[in-house]
A and B are shown apart, each in its own frame.
Chain A
Amino acid sequence: MIWAALVILIVVLAVAVPVAAGLGILGLGLSELFSKLPLSLAMGEMAWGTSNNFLLVAIPFFVLLGEILLRSGMAERMYNALVLWMPWLPGGLMHSNIAACAMFAATSGSSVATAATIGTVAMDEIEKHGYSERLFLGTIAAGGTLGILIPPSINMIVYGVLTDTSIPKLYLAGIIPGLLLAGLFSLTVLIFCLARPALGGRRVATSWDARIRALPDLLPPLVIFLAVIGSIYAGWATATESAALGVIAALGVAAWRGRLTPRMLLQAFEGTMRTTAMIMAILIAAYFLNFVITSIGLTGQINRYITSLGLTPVELLVVVVIFYFILGMFMETLSMMVATVPIIAPIMFKAGYDPIWFGILVVILMELAMITPPVGINLYVVQGLRQRGKIDDVIIGSAPFVVTMLVMIAILSLWPGIALWLARAVSN
């Protein structure tokens, strides 16, 4: 059954059928092959149930927030300010990319929105300053994934709901690993540029005066961060509601900049809904697929198999990481979480792993999935912004950061306190 599923999936995706349709066809195919019951009849109810799920509303909210900030000029100003502060490092603007992604991640819960926003403002710089295109694209694709590790985070919301884990605690737990991972990304760039200085591009001229003058441009992201994150800890809003507050704060920033016009809003709507429709199409198909997979007993099979192995906790962890690495190559992250976390998480908790810690691990594994081919959504976002060349450039440019993330996973496993310390310190 597992093999049939994998073969259908790989064939359908290899011939470039849209991913949403591919997952849906896989669901229909598995139901046809392995179920006595007419599972396809559930498609309507499943589609409606998925489409109007309140938790998923955070997706368009965070995408809209990014679109508004992009069109308000805030993202560009923030990026340019960071450019002035970063040029002394070998690799120059690529560090600004990562820093800008990390900073933007503090306002947005979506990796797609983070990569798209920073990518849009950064893309013109490649030729201007003579960077190695591939590594530069890689910093945006990988840096963008920080969107779900540094709070707020859609994936943490979904994990929290799937496992009944506190979302605000997950948010706190994501901060240090998020900053650490951003640092490791920069370190990766540094290593590459020291080894091959040609990758690094020309330096941007700057002065302390210009740097100081650019500082106020870093303020608006802080305001949005406070609106989204502050509202949760101040007892105003739940994590999902806070995404809506972020949208309102972004509108405020745009209005303050004098950029809030009907035309600008309509453009933001277009970008938001195109991305939302694309993600939701995949999720609708994935929820149906998940229903079929559990109905035909595939989930139970996997579950029993893993339990029957009788693994030690460390072995179990290794197996889970490999499992997500492989599955993450082929699946969109939210749908993958919906399909697997309810099975894997209880096994991990039983083996003694902390739910908050495991949540952070899962989020990093999802980040990994976003930049591994063939289905890596950030690869596609960056390629979509670029509108030229082959996607292979983005894939190759992101490859070093895949290794970086694996290192991050090792660090997190050896020192779980990196994730747990802040969550515990604040709750006590």
Chain B
Amino acid sequence: MRRSSTRKTGPQNPAASANTPAADLYRSASSKAIIKELERIDQFFNSYADKSSGLIDPEGIEILCSDLGVDHTDVRILMLAWKMKAERQGYFTQEEWRRGLKALRADTISKLKKALSDLEKEVERPQNFLDFYSYAFRYCLTEEKQKSLDIESICVLLDLVLGAHYRLQIDSLTEFLKNQNDYKVINMDQWMNFLRFCQEINFPDLSNYDSDHAWPLILDNFVEWMRGKQD
């Protein structure tokens, strides 16, 4: 609460400084405005950052989430992390924060709140989505040299990033993943092919699935399981 109160006094109206009419003054004024904005973004950062580490840590993120009025497991937080290109799960560095919030042009909690819905639309664009999807996997790799995620996490993550668009597929896939014993972890290749599967394969009839194509074996197994269930 202390942090949020400092934040509330912090923001100033940037429109006032942008109002300068003189043309030659405009450039310096706008660059001044940018500097001002950066300062506000930093201020915004500091209001959540842990003083000793200089990072927003999981605790800070939780407070940010409650200020934004979203759950910390909400997909929009993952999108925000993607926008910042955050490297470590549960932490935002100042650099990442600047990168993300500058791009979103958000220097206050209310602006950020608004920006989130725009961000959602931005992620929806196909090229962005592929990047976001693969980012989601990498973001969850917390250990050094970790290359795969356990089934439990994968199911949560699938639900989070694909659940809204491919409800049927994700329900079946998570049911399958939880009921098989061949795979304990999922790697990047398999993860990427889940998306491709959702995008390309007719569901639930699976009519255009061909196991002679270069699908990973886990999807062959999934399809076999699906077909066995349908009969």
Partners in one complex: no
Residues of B that sit less than 8 Å from A by CB: none
Residues of A within 8 A of B (CB): none
